[in-house]
Structure 1
Amino acid sequence: MRHLDSVPERRGLVIFLNGTTSSGKSSIASELLELLDGPYFHLPVDAFHAMRSRAPVPAERLDVVLHRTWRGFHRAVAGMAAAGNNVVVDHVLSAEWRLQDCLSVLVPQDVVFVGVRCPVEELERRERERGDRHAGLAARQLEQVHAHGLYDIECDTGVETARECALRIREFLPGRPRPTAFERLVASREHRG
Structure 2
Amino acid sequence: MTPGRIIFLNGTSSSGKSSIARELLDILEDGVFSHLAVDGFNAMRTKRVLGAEELDVALRRTRMGFHRSIAAMAEAGNDLVVDHVLSESWRLLDCLTVLRPEDVLFVGVHCPLDELVRRERSRGDRPPGLAAHQYELVHGHGDYDLECDTSTASPRACAQRIKEFLPNRPTPTAFSRLRGRYLAGGQGDPGAEPSVF
Same fold (TM over 0.5): yes
Cα RMSD (Å): 1.0
Q: Which residue of the partner structure matches residue 83 of structure 2?
A: 90
Cα distance between partner residues in 2 of 1:168 and 1:86 = 18
Cα distance between partner residues in 1 of 2:4 and 2:123 = 33
1:17 matched to 2:9? The reply is: yes
Identity of aligned residues (%): 61
Per-residue deviation, 1:55: 2.8
Q: Which residue of the partner structure matches residue 24 of structure 2?
A: 32
Cα distance between partner residues in 1 of 2:131 and 2:173 = 27
Q: Which residue of the partner structure matches residue 192 of structure 2?
A: none
Per-residue deviation, 1:135: 1.5
1:42 alignment partner, SS class = strand
Of residues 107, 110, 121, the one that matches 1:128 is: 121
Cα distance between partner residues in 2 of 1:53 and 1:148 = 32
Cα distance between partner residues in 1 of 2:133 and 2:183 = 29
1:144 alignment partner, SS class = coil
* Structure number with higher helix proportion: 1
Q: Which residue of the partner structure matches residue 189 of structure 1?
A: 182
- Aligned counterparts, 1:40-51, within 5 A: 40-51=33-44
Per-residue deviation, 1:60: 2.6
Cα distance between partner residues in 1 of 2:33 and 2:51 = 37
Q: Which residue of the partner structure matches residue 104 of structure 2?
A: 111
1:73 matched to 2:85? The reply is: no
In terms of Rg, which structure is larger? 1
Per-residue deviation, 1:191: 4.2
Q: TM-score, normalised by structure 2?
A: 0.91
2:81 alignment partner, SS class = strand
Q: Which residue of the partner structure matches residue 144 of structure 1?
A: 137
Per-residue deviation, 1:39: 1.1
